[in-house]
Amino acid sequence: MALTDARLRSAKAGDKLVKLSDGHGLQFWLYPTGAKSWRLVYQWHGNQRSMTLGPYPEMSLRAARIAAEDARRAVRGGTDPGPRKNAPAGRAGSATPTYSEIRARWQAKEGRNARSADTLARYDRLAKIGAELDTRPIAEIKASEIFDILQRLEARGTFETAKRLRAMISRVFRFAIALDHAATDPASHLVGMIASPPARPRSAVTDRKGFAELLRAMAAYEARSCVGNALMLLALTAARSGELRLAEWTGEIDLDDGVWTIPQARTKMRRAHRVPLSKQAVAILKRMQAHSRALRTRFVCPSPRLGQPISENAFNCALRSMGVGADVATAHGFRSSFSTIANESGLWRSETIEMALAHVDSSVRGIYQRGDMFSERARLMQWWADEIDAMISGRDKIGSKFELQPHGSAR
């Protein structure tokens, strides 16, 4: 009896492997672990063989039937469609997929795993950097080939990119192993083979006088720049730059209640985070909303390119255009400025400040503390916005000397 989508969705894992037949050798395998995959059983020179077609639901029922028919067509044409793990490189008839084919399927799976938009974009960038592996059969790629790519990145000083690329390639190979398209993960042998540069925390201005001068420069820049509005909003909310630049109006921004809800998929800690909006933040958002409506975009921080948010470098580029060096301040450093000044004020509990930064308490106390202290955080963020106003206007009698002191930022 042919399978249906409803039957596949309702299939439950048991203590043993469950096999459901769709006919003509196509089988749906449901493992005790809950993993699901498509297999094809076929005859080759009088011997029964089987091959993995792909995981479910990444490969739909319709796609599995098409893949099975392609394999049966290969058998009728005299070609064994199954992977040949010990076949020499370039041997005719090998059905081993290329690295790019497996990588594309792995990326599609990650997209369904609620990865953040930034993470998925990073995978795309890393895929382009490692593109010379794309046409190679995945089962034939050696560790030395991967190491050559990583060494070139290391020579250019892009150490973090090299490490991220190695990690991504390793994940692709583990995916290939699960599909029986590779026997080992050569990238796993390269752990620790890339040099690590000295740790350098992202710069932040934690001196109140210096931060006041920076805010004045931002206020002047804000008046003539859409990115300037977003940069000031970043300072007011102490949010992570990636969370703000990808923010959307629908489902996130509530100007009436003064709340910005960052969805789980876009937060570092993978849980939704509510940000109380001060009166000053709401005023900026209303200006930004008018700009977004004019561009007919869903993004709070739209790019001049229609349909796109501002780039991940936009905030720091704005700071550089103000003459603020990378060794002095970064957009992410606003979080350190907020944390330091709020803690030094003595007015707020450290737990409230940490919750405002969306930091997760991993202690036993943190496990049982389920609230988000929203009311107290709302008072904190309004106090912070008023402090920013005072620093910009000079009402707190801060001098005009530009005393920016580099400092490591909060994560």
Higher pLDDT: 64 or 253? It is 253
The 10s digit of each residue's pLDDT in 185-208 is 999 999 888 887 665 566 778 888
DSSP letter string over 215-252?
Answer: HHHHHHHHTT-HHHHHHHHHHHHT--HHHHHT-BTTTT
The 10s digit of each residue's pLDDT in 122-131 is 899 999 999 9
- 252/255 Cα distance (integer angstroms): 10
Task: Decide: pTM greater than 0.75.
Answer: no
Ordered by where they begin, the domains of the chain are 5-76 (3.30.160.390), 99-190 (1.10.150.130), 208-393 (1.10.443.10)
Q: Could you tell me the pLDDT band of residue 60, with boundaries at 50, 70 and 90?
A: confident
Residue range 41-58: mean pLDDT, rounded: 86
What is the residue type of 208? R
DSSP letter string over 366-387?
Answer: HHH-----HHHHHHHHHHHHHH
The 10s digit of each residue's pLDDT in 349-405 is 999 999 999 886 544 444 344 457 889 999 999 999 999 999 998 876 443 333 444
The 10s digit of each residue's pLDDT in 132-164 is 999 899 999 999 999 999 999 988 888 889 999
Q: What is the pLDDT of residue 109?
A: 83
Q: What is the pLDDT of residue 202?
A: 63
Q: What is the pLDDT of residue 222?
A: 63
Least confident of 24-28, 59-63, 232-236, 364-368: 364-368
- 19/37 Cα distance (integer angstroms): 10
Least confident of 20-29, 196-205, 291-300: 196-205
- 6/3 Cα distance (integer angstroms): 8
